Structure 1
């Protein structure tokens, strides 16, 4: 009986990817599913894969927690006087194992992993389908999507918690929980999954927008190698990418009308048109599917908001950098198609601090007079400019500084800035990469991990409560320690 229940649960999270037909994605009657009869049609296979995508969307991940916790820890944000308590804990590093956001993130990832595993563990059944029902290429593609998503969820986990329990089955054999695996074991699984995905996924032009592609798998694999300081392997993966380029207009990366552009490698789908009834009450403790993010509310301008860009981040931009206007609003900027003008951005609050700017990325002010918190703009998880700067980093470590500078200059040219001198030293190139990643990817949840892997977090976060040896990781949630008999308080991360 338990197997039937788990299969039904797996499909409670089925969520329509924007460009797919609803007829193709809906199940006629989930209560009639069984392990013996499921995976008999392409629609069933695709629906099961869609269920694994759905867990990227909730508030516990990209719908809310992901952006404010990462940007707050990186101190790309400053909080206003009414900032909600859980947001403050990430800014001042006072979070602990009881925090709901810590648990929602953990649960969201493992729900996604369980749904991906449901597909992967039934790969043999999928591969037995007749060619007339599903071609060999499509079979491998769907399994590749599931493995890409599993890798992504484990990547989110390993970067926040370190070594975590590894689950590979369909969920029916893990009633007591698994012990923590080593970080190396988790990374090995991620690399394995991404290699399979890179071999079997379709190219971007041949795939429905919103689904994982060969280029996405290659780019993520390169990123994983880069984080392990395997620069040569990373560069080899990045060099396989084709069909990507920089958007002419930087801000086109962050508007709803220009989603899935030439620069986009992977993005998480949102669409208010599909309904907002689950927006204010995301089911399953912040881990249920939603159609909109709270980015608009948390990063608002004139309406209620939690955070605004920090002085340090705003000051990092060079004079004339076009990315500034694509990232921030300042007093005097127009919005709502130019019908209105911001006049109240430089106001005093928080004991006299002046707000120098407000976030523009992923905000809806460009087309409406207010931000009500419901944003249907897709979240860009990986862009080609990010890849170019990672390629520059690899070249600077194991290749040539001239090649590294060439990649940096491609990004700077789009920003309207002068090229860097090709004679710069390795150290100077590294400093340029640090700067470019900070401004190019501002508010895109990469800065904190960049600082950690470069070993500069203690210096960059001096004056905050960041503790070396503790705050590089999050604590394992209390609920996991109390419910998993193979994990106890001795397995908790240092300092928690």
Structure 2
């Protein structure tokens, strides 16, 4: 049997599960560790599990992640930045000029496959780590849940991808071929289904375990997967278990999930692991990440990229924004015609021109400047870290939150032919999201649901995937360069095609 090598990157050490700052380290040959000499202790297994979580919420050293990619690809936001080439992957996503040779697709591909590799290694080696039965079962469940989520992203974003169910000998890597997309969907579903029984119902110690997956997390991810596959009945059933039982117009979840009373509280840096967080990417203000490898920081890089350039408070009435790089700006149409007047406006949008006109603050206009910034994630001076503060903001990021599972279940119920009449479950789920921000109940229709999702999740990276799965991206995004029958998926990165048996998708001029 060939010896595989595990780099130190697989051993992500930290004082708490998701607080590790080491993502990928350059090591010499003496720094390598063979599989045969590792995976011997419970600590080895734990560190390997941390390394998978590390990829789950990974932000590239190019200062972006999934949220940023899909924000700028939507009709509501633009790349911004300092110039039309600043973080060029995002600029290309905004204009749909990316290709197999360059663009954000390499990040999406490598994030998932590096996570899958780490998952496969742990699953193959965990028997040697001397874990008690319950701990072992939980580690396997967490690993399989994340592997399922990685495959969901891959098949959803690329369609034609390899299905790697275990580690491969080095001499087989160039012989890998792509699987039938249906097989990848099924494999991802099965991973999540297998994981659910052995995940904890809730976390017993949020301080030390916050961000780890639970049964509710896995069911929400699986329910979302079913929704994207248009398996409406299965999606509704799975999401109903997350959302809980209905009593009048309210819902009680056995997992403890509950909508926060104040919408704005969702984006307070100190409000980690709140009752609305279902799947949460954890960030740390103490990771000490630096510019030698910005992607190695566990800080939330969105906090610095979305901050207005050259920001300065002129008086105490202005927010204490940390001056940033002016990315992910909202369009004037969205801010003035779609979002204006909605109760979520002031939390979602930071109107810098209004502050400037009032003499409360100044800032420097950047590329695509509209004056409307993503207020949900702008870093605050009061939250800054001591070391390299721009890279170490501790605000967490939501992959799935309860308002999302409410609206996804309502959508699934509506599409499965269930009642949407007043007092129905679908109607009450939909209007619970509106009621939380003080909006009155309205009829649940597809148009109403689409508008509600647009307003509720503005700036959270969901608008683009929603438009694609609804089949509306070609119309809504045509002015930005989106081409129907092409941009619904990303091209296979050219680096993955070179000297391999992988084939480019037909949508991108290939034969697959």
With normalisation by structure 2, the TM-score equals 0.81
Query: 1:26 aligns to what?
Result: none
| Alpha-carbon contact 2:116-2:150 (below 8 Å) kept | yes
CA deviation string 1:294-327 (max 9, x = no partner): 3123212234323311223324656653311111
Query: What's the offset of the Cα at 1:447?
Result: 0.9
Structure 1 residue 432: deviation in Å?
Answer: 1.1
Query: For residues 368 and 114 of structure 1, do their structure 2 counterparts lie closer, same or farther at Cα, with a shift above 3 Å needed?
Result: closer
Residue 419 of structure 1 deviates from its aligned partner by 1.4
Deviates more, 1:221-230 or 1:116-125: 116-125
Pair 1:395-2:413 in alignment: yes
> Secondary structure of 2:480's match?
coil
Distance 1:469 1:104, change over 3 A: same
Cα distance, 1:364 vs structure 2: 1.8
Q: Do residues 468 (structure 1) and 484 (structure 2) align?
A: yes
| 2:88 is equivalent to residue 89 of structure 1 | no
1:11 matched to 2:10: yes
Kindly tell me: are residues 354 and 474 of structure 1, through their superposed partners in 2, closer, same or farther at Cα, counting changes over 3 Å?
closer
SS in 2 for 1:206: coil
Asked if the contact 1:11–1:51 (Cα under 8 Å) also holds between the matched residues in 2, the reply is yes
The residue aligned with 2:66 is 66
SS of equivalent to 1:276: coil
8 Å CA contact 1:15–1:54 kept in 2: the answer is no
Distance 2:237 2:122 in 1: 29
Aligned-partner SS, 2:329: strand
Aligned position for 1:479: 495
Query: Does residue 360 in structure 1 map to residue 375 in structure 2?
Result: yes
1:299 is matched with 306
Q: Is 1:195 aligned with 2:193? A: yes
User: What is the deviation of 1:79?
Assistant: 4.0
Return the offset for 1:211: 0.9
User: 1:314·1:356 contact (CA, 8 Å) conserved in 2?
Assistant: no
**Root mean square deviation, CA, Å:** 3.1
The aligned residue for residue 310 of structure 1 is 331
What's 2:182 paired with?
Answer: 184
- Could you list the runs of 5+ residues in structure 2 that have no partner in the other structure? 21-29, 243-253, 312-322
Q: Secondary structure of 1:220's match? A: helix
Q: Secondary structure at the match of 1:218?
A: helix
2:148 maps to 1:148:
no
Q: Distance in 2 between matches of 1:172 and 1:461?
A: 43
SS in 1 for 2:400: strand
CA contact (8 A) 2:18 2:53 kept: no
Secondary structure of residue in 2 paired with 1:55: helix
Quote the residue 2:449 is aligned against: 433
Mapped to 2, the partners of 1:226 and 1:479 lie a distance apart of 32
The change in CA–CA distance for 1:140 and 1:19 in structure 2 (over 3 A counts) is closer
Deviation at 1:369, TM superposition (A): 9.4
Query: 1:381 aligns to what SS in structure 2?
Result: strand
User: Is 2:271 the counterpart of 1:271?
Assistant: no
Partner SS, residue 168 of structure 1: coil
Q: Are 1:113 and 2:122 counterparts?
A: no
Residue 158 of structure 2 corresponds to residue 161 of structure 1 = yes
Distance in 2 separating the partners of 1:112 and 1:229: 26
What's the counterpart of residue 51 of structure 1?
Answer: 51
Alignment check: 8 A CA contact 2:61 2:293 kept: no
**SS of residue paired to 1:308:** strand
For residue 399 of structure 2, give the secondary structure of its aligned residue in structure 1. Answer: strand
Query: Within 2, Cα distance between the matches of 1:438 and 1:56?
Result: 25
Give the direction of change, closer, same or farther, for the CA distance of 1:466–1:101 in structure 2 (3 Å limit).
Answer: closer
Distance 1:46 1:354, change over 3 A: closer
Match of 2:433 in 1: 411
- Partners of 1:443 and 1:62 in 2: how far apart? 19
Partner of residue 474, structure 2? 458
Shift of 1:141: 0.6
In 2, the alpha carbon distance for the partners of 1:96 and 1:475 equals 7
Decide which of 202, 222, 225 is 1:204's aligned counterpart.
202
Instruction: Identify if the C-alpha distance between structure 1 residues 244 and 364 changes in structure 2 by more than 3 Å, giving closer, same or farther.
Output: same
Equivalent runs, 1:242-281 vs 2, <5 Å:
242=254, 243-277=256-290, 279=291, 281=293
Counterpart secondary structure, 1:321? coil
Does residue 1:494 correspond to 2:512, yes or no?
no
- Secondary structure of 1:142's counterpart equals helix
In the superposition, relative to structure 1, how do residues 17 and 57 fare at CA in structure 2: closer, same or farther (>3 Å)?
farther
Q: Distance in 2 between matches of 1:63 and 1:45?
A: 30
Separation (CA, whole Å) in 1 of partners of 2:169 and 2:7:
13
Relative to structure 1, the CA distance from residue 9 to residue 164 in structure 2 (aligned partners, 3 Å threshold; closer, same or farther) is: farther
Q: What's 2:25 paired with?
A: none
1:48 Cα shift? Answer: 1.2
**Aligned 8 A contact 2:284 2:392 in 1:** no
Tell me how many residue pairs correspond in the alignment.
460
Compared CA separation, residues 74 and 21, structure 1 to 2 (3 A): closer
Mapped to 1, the partners of 2:484 and 2:303 lie a distance apart of 33
Distance 1:334 1:349, change over 3 A: closer
